[in-house]
């Protein structure tokens, strides 16, 4: 359900996918890259893990799509400025060493659009992250909208559209284990305006300022 929603949001934000040049940063097992390649985009995908890249290549072969998978560091992309029409960076900023540097690099190599997501400080994710850090477990970073906008402005990008995914945290929906209940509950939150205020993760489509 999450994957299907992310695919829908990406497609809406990118618009025409056919023959666009797209970079997928932190591709993992290649789910996003493969989906975009299936839409006839020219996709390059990077990750720092050789193990994940091997699995991504296997999955791309199974789907009979072509993706240029490369080992790379999101903090220092080995591409020239404006190399790609669109840069996608999903599920990365929450855990990288320096999220601002990663976002700056994504903006540098993008010609027009950068699409990325992050857990919001204005959501249940903030409480969950704080508890995990208090217990000294591996946590994840939450970000504020203002901090993200300031980082984008330094790279001469501005927010074009925003999508908030869920009010309740993902662990809650996994525990419940009901797609129908998740859809019903989150639709109810959306109707009363909570999704717009507290939804997370937040997916941002940013465009280069003219």
Confidence of residue 133 (pLDDT cuts 50, 70, 90): low
| Contact predicate 28/5, CB 8 Å | no
Tell me the mean pLDDT in the region 46-68. Answer: 97
Tell me the mean pLDDT in the region 157-184. Answer: 87
Q: Which residue has the tokens 């993008």?
A: 110
Average pLDDT, the chain: 90
Confidence of residue 198 (pLDDT cuts 50, 70, 90): confident
Query: Is the confidence at residue 25, as pLDDT, over 90?
Result: yes
Query: Is the confidence at residue 203, as pLDDT, over 70?
Result: yes
Q: Which of 57-61, 108-112, 117-121, 166-170 bottoms out in mean pLDDT, i.e. has the lowest?
A: 166-170
| Contact predicate 144/121, CB 8 Å | yes
Confidence of residue 200 (pLDDT cuts 50, 70, 90): confident
| Contact predicate 94/140, CB 8 Å | yes
Longest CA pairwise span in the chain (Å)? 47
pLDDT value of residue 178: 87
Confidence of residue 48 (pLDDT cuts 50, 70, 90): very high
**Sign of torsion, CA 93 99 103 109?**
negative
User: Model's pTM, two decimal places?
Assistant: 0.87
Select the more confidently predicted residue: 200 or 132: 200
| Contact predicate 59/30, CB 8 Å | yes
Q: What is the CA radius of gyration of the chain?
A: 17
Q: Which of 111-115, 133-137, 177-181 has the highest mean pLDDT?
A: 111-115
Domains of the chain are 2-118+142-165+201-208 (3.40.50.150)
**Sign of torsion, CA 101 104 106 109?**
negative
């Amino acid at each position: 359900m999450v994957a299907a929603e992310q695919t829908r949001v990406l497609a809406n934000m990118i618009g025409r996918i056919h023959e666009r040049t797209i970079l997928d940063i932190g591709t993992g097992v290649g789910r996003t890259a493969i989906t975009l390649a299936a839409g006839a985009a020219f996709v390059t995908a990077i990750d720092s893990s050789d193990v994940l890249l091997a699995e991504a290549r296997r999955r791309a072969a199974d789907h009979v799509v072509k993706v240029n998978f490369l080992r790379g560091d999101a903090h220092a992309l080995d591409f020239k400025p404006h190399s790609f029409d669109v840069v996608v960076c999903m599920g990365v900023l929450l855990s990288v060493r320096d999220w601002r540097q990663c976002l700056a690099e994504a903006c540098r190599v993008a010609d027009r659009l950068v699409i990325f997501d992050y857990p919001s400080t204005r959501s249940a994710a903030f409480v969950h992250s704080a508890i995990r850090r208090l217990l000294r477990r591996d946590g994840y970073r939450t970000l504020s909208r203002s901090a993200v906008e300031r980082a984008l402005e330094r790279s001469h990008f501005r927010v074009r559209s925003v999508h908030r995914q869920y009010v309740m945290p993902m662990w809650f929906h996994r525990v419940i284990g009901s797609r129908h209940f998740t859809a019903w509950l989150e639709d109810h939150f959306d109707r009363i305006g909570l999704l717009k205020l507290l939804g997370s993760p937040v997916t941002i489509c940013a465009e280069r300022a003219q």
